[in-house]
Chains A and B, each alone.
Chain A
Amino acid sequence: MYAYDELDRTLINERVSEFRDQVKRRLSGELTEDEFKILRLQNGVYLQLHAYMFRVAIPYGTLSSKQLRRLAHVARRYDRGYGHFTTRQNIQFNWIKLAELPDALADLAEVGIHAMQTSGNNMRNVTSDQWAGVAPGEIEDPRIWSELIRQHTTLHPEFSFLPRKFKIAITAAEHDRAAIKIHDIGLRLHKNADGETGFEVLVGGGLGRTPFIAKTIKPFVPGRDILSYIEAILRVYNQYGRRDNIYKARIKILVHELGIEKFAKEVEEEWKAMGDVGLTLDHAAIEEVRSRFSYPAYEKLPHMPDELKQAAHDKLFERWRKNSVSPHKVQGYSIVTLSLKPVGGPPGDATAEQMDAVADLADKYSFGEIRVGHEQNLALPHVAKRDLPALFKALDRLGLATPNVNLVTDIIACPGLDYCSLANARSIPIAQELTRRFANHDTADLIGRLHINISGCINACGHHHVGHIGILGVEKNGEEFYQITIGGRADENAQLGTLIGPAVPYAEVADVIEDIVEAYLALRDRPEELFVDTVKRLGVEPIRERVYATR
């Protein structure tokens, strides 16, 4: 858990009253939409098909039960009783009224939640591993560094007017759950030969119209130098950044055009030339932030409690445990993922009732803490193993125990044409149909880990480029069509998917995906070979042949 300081609280409250005044002036006609738009975007307010959309930041995916209850309250009081968790550790409300937004913001501010930096050309929410601080084998809690960077960049003038928006992600674990290779800057915490903690720095990742996987520009930057090093990157970016062309202004384009070696060299030179700009983090500064993250008072518990032994006879419990429960760094505890992907449901949506109930369960079983991950699921990060059977029963009643985490029905989908004004095609109904096709959990288990990602347009909010199977909505003569790619991945071996064939109409997407999965089952050389590994071994062609032969 993280405790905000007085400065943050004052800042958040000032922003609320400022926005209240701006909304008032907009509704009285004193401000035109042209004048108001930039102001509302600074507060996370977009205009969608049916209403204003309100995007709220959940920094490093950490929420208290009190905060989650407040999100439930906003969903119920100002929206239609549900919210949508996104791939960037945000939550979006789809039906909010402009006139009521200042009240919603004020209610959230009371629990330290805000919508700053959820839009605009600035430094966005610094994301990290949703298992930060609890994952076994982690170098250290990456949120400490997310927070140091957040404090430095929040509302810093230099970072508020970048050529484009700017996203940083941090991981401290072997397995990258923060998708750092598709961010403008990706940071991987590790130790060098001398046992010193620092970062591998990657630059230039991003999806959208021109997708790129980030590349390493420096294998090791000591922790204390990370702010000055980021500063050097931004100076080089600001110097070259192409503000003239909105599609070209992301750092990935610059890195691509300069070449990674030249970019790395320029950053290195800039960094050396900068000298001491007062950004070196001393031990005290790091410790001060570290001290604001509190960890639960864990008990000394057995590795295998009796409750767990008994429940092992319950087949449904066991299936869920194997799928959704992960090891914790402390013996006797587990990390529990709550699937927001029920069969037939919109991926990532949670009702106000579910949010309230999860907050209660967090109080009872997870020291009042909840995590939000980029796969659009929630997690309870500190569950004693002896409580797992009781927690399973409670989650099952809430529809939050679908045993499909990381399986074919754990689909990431953007809002698509049902909500988004930029969309070409729908995403959510495609996801819903696919979850129905693969509703049998035994079949899903047999298929194994398989990530399907769906975006309704080239902006790639659903990360389709890095889905094991990626689905992109395009428009052809006013009809919804979908391009399908295979072989993408978002983890430490991040890679962009390859197009498998011509785009297919809405009604055929689920059939084609079923055929792709069947081709994989026939072609994999053993049950443990994952879909992406089969595609890597064989290439796209054998799958394409099987899928398109009869089309």
Chain B
Amino acid sequence: MTSPLEQKKIRITGPSVVTANRTWDGAVVYRTAKHGWSTELSDSAIVTTSDEARALLAEATADDLGAVGPYIAPVELKDGGKVKPGNLREHIRAKGVTIDLQVPA
């Protein structure tokens, strides 16, 4: 749970989403506008004010059965409404590891 005190401190500086890991399999998920979770960043509810962010996080946090460890993450909005992860960490969470996993034979 994000404590009320911590929630008060939340300030965002640009478009943001709420992300977490799905409880049953750990997959990266995003809070949607329909009060559910999606594995697609493009489905996420995008907030632009700190008040909206607080509300979205509170709602997501209440769904402890759906996903664990929700937090606010920055996104970039591209032309045509495309949503991109806002930093490298979120890029890796959205797209997977940046390394070639196949051990060369």
Contact surface of A with B, Cβ cutoff 8 Å: 26-27, 29, 32-34, 47-52, 80, 82, 95-99, 342-346, 349-351, 354, 397-399, 417-419, 423, 426, 428-429, 432, 478, 480
Contact = CB atoms under 8 A, between A and B. Distances in A.
Nearest to B68: A33
Contacts of B23: 26-27, 33, 98
Interface string B24-57: 1111100000000000000000000000000000
B99 interface: yes
Contacts of A52: 21, 25-26
B25 A99 contact: yes
Interface in B76-105: 87-89, 92-93, 96-101, 103-105
B27 A51 contact: yes
A117 to B, nearest CB: 22
B38 to A, nearest CB: 16
Given A33-B69, A51-B25, A52-B26, 7 more contacts: A26-B23, A82-B103, A95-B26, A98-B25, A346-B99, A429-B98, A432-B99
Interface of B: 1, 21, 23-28, 64-65, 68-69, 87-89, 92-93, 96-101, 103-105
Contacts of B26: 47-48, 50-52, 95-98
Nearest to A50: B28
Given A32-B64, A418-B99, A50 B1 contact: no
A99 B24 CA distance: 5
Given A50-B26, A51-B26, A98-B25, A417 B103 contact: no
A275 B88 CA distance: 58
A354 B101 CA distance: 14
B54 to A, nearest CB: 20
Contacts of A26: 23
A254 B94 CA distance: 42
B93 A49 contact: yes
Main secondary structure of the interface of A (DSSP, over half): mixed
Contact of A345 (B1, B21, B103): B103
Main secondary structure of the interface of B (DSSP, over half): loop
A195 B88 CA distance: 59
Nearest to B74: A478
Contacts of A419: 97
Contact of B92 (A27, A397, A417): A417
A300 B78 CA distance: 72
Contacts of A99: 24-25
A420 to B, nearest CB: 10
A52 B68 CA distance: 11
A250 to B, nearest CB: 26
A26 B26 CA distance: 13
Q: What are the 5 closest A-B residue pairs judged by CB atoms, nearest first?
A: A51-B26, A97-B25, A418-B97, A52-B26, A29-B65
Contacts of A398: 105
Contacts of A423: 89
A344 B104 contact: yes
A325 B93 CA distance: 40
A99 B27 CA distance: 12
Contacts of B88: 417, 478, 480
A429 B99 contact: yes
A97 B93 CA distance: 16
A398 B21 CA distance: 35
30 contacts: A27-B24, A29-B64, A33-B23, A33-B68, A34-B1, A47-B69, A49-B92, A50-B26, A50-B27, A50-B97, A52-B21, A52-B25, A52-B26, A80-B101, A82-B103, A97-B26, A98-B23, A98-B26, A342-B103, A343-B104, A344-B100, A344-B104, A345-B104, A349-B101, A397-B105, A399-B103, A399-B104, A399-B105, A428-B99, A432-B99
A32 B69 CA distance: 11
A343 B98 CA distance: 17
A50 B26 CA distance: 7
Contacts of A342: 103-104
